[in-house]
């Protein structure tokens, strides 16, 4: 496959079914597929930051960045959560996920977002600029391995002077 043929763009309504199916095949279970639907239906959805990779008119990758907050006392600092990102199994390990992640982070930067949090595979995300969220002064609202909890500054010093707990909206609750 020539990766030059791939196109990345925001999702459209007609991509929704394919996005649902993609996460079903990329992950075990329906959590990520349902998560996308729930976020899309809520107030934290940012249309430009739900992005798909298209190959030959088919959705082969999808990423979603949506609004969350970092809470410190009464103060709420806006941030984004990266969740989920998935590539169809038969297209994995060809650079599609990396290109899509970089593209979504660039778009988020263009839209003036400053901080992105991810809970994910520790070896994968540092290549995009993610570092330990704990070391950056953030805490997670639930028990997760420290090394899986990461954060990326989209603007220089975006995390300077910021600490607090990352708050995920109810869409992320397992039993919702
Ligand atoms: C993780 C994922 C989005 C990466 O996309 P991709 O197009 O396969 O990745 P790329 O080709 O850009 O990059 C390859 C890297 O991804 C890692 N990767 C590949 N498949 C993976 C998988 N199933 N789970 C986790 N990481 C994976 C590879 O180890 C490789 O790392 P390396 O460069 O250190 O060797 C994709 O593999 C996927 O959808 N995995 C299943 C769902 C998932 O785990 N999503 C992320 C949750 S944190």
Looking only at the bridges linking them, the beta strands covering 149-153 and 115-119 are antiparallel
Ligand 1 centroid, distance to 78 Cα (angstroms): 27
* Reported confidence tier of residue 5, pLDDT bands at 50, 70, 90: confident
Q: Is the CB of 121 under 6 A from ligand 1?
A: yes
What's the CA angle centered on 65, arms 62 and 68, to 5 degrees? 150
> Global pTM?
0.95
Q: Looking at ligand 1, which atom is closest to the CA of residue 92?
A: 8
Instruction: Give the closest residue to 140 by CA, choosing from 71, 73, 76.
Output: 71
Cβ of 123 below 6 Å from ligand 1: yes
- Residues 52-70 pLDDT 10s: 999 999 999 999 999 999 9
Label residue 125 by pLDDT band (50, 70, 90): very high
Question: In order of start, what are the domains of the chain with their CATH numbers?
Answer: 3-172 (3.40.630.30)
The pLDDT tens digits for 68-115 are 999 999 999 999 999 999 999 999 999 999 999 999 999 999 999 999
Could you tell me the distance, in angstroms and rounded to a whole number, from the CA of residue 93 to the centre of ligand 1?
6
What is the C-alpha to C-alpha distance for residues 170 and 167, in angstroms, rounded to an integer?
9
Q: Which residues pair with 69 in a beta bridge?
A: 78, 167
* Residue 4 pLDDT greater than 80, yes or no: no
Q: Taking residues 121-134, what's their average pLDDT?
A: 97
Pair of tokens at residue 51: 């992005």
In this predicted structure, what is the pLDDT of residue 3? 54
pLDDT for 1 equals: 56
State how far the Cα of 36 lies from the Cα of 32, in Å rounded to an integer: 6
Distance from the alpha carbon of residue 38 to the mean position of ligand 1, in angstroms: 24
Stretch 36-48: mean pLDDT, rounded?
98
Model pLDDT, residue 174: 83
Longest dimension (CA), the chain: 51
- Pocket lining: 94 vs ligand 1, CB cutoff 6 Å: yes
DSSP string for residues in 7-63: EEEE--GGGHHHHHHHHHHHSSSSHHHHHHHHHHTSTT--GGGEEEEEETTEEEEEE
């Amino acid at each position: 496959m020539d990766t030059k043929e791939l196109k990345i763009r925001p999702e459209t309504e007609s991509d929704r079914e394919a996005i649902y199916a993609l996460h079903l095949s990329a992950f075990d279970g329906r959590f990520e597929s349902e998560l996308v639907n729930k976020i899309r239906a809520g107030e934290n959805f940012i249309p430009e930051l739900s992005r798909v990779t298209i190959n030959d008119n088919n959705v082969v990758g999808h990423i979603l960045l949506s609004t969350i907050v970092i809470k410190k006392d009464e103060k709420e600092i806006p941030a984004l959560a990266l969740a989920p990102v998935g590539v169809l199994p038969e297209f994995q390990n060809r650079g599609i996920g990396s290109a899509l992640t970089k593209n979504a982070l660039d778009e988020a930067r263009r839209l003036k977002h400053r901080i992105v949090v991810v809970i994910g595979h520790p070896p994968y995300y540092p290549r995009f600029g993610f570092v330990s969220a704990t070391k950056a002064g953030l805490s997670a609202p639930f028990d997760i391995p420290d090394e899986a909890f990461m954060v990326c500054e989209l603007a220089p010093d975006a995390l300077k002077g910021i600490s607090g707990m990352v708050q995920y909206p109810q869409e992320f609750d397992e039993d919702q």
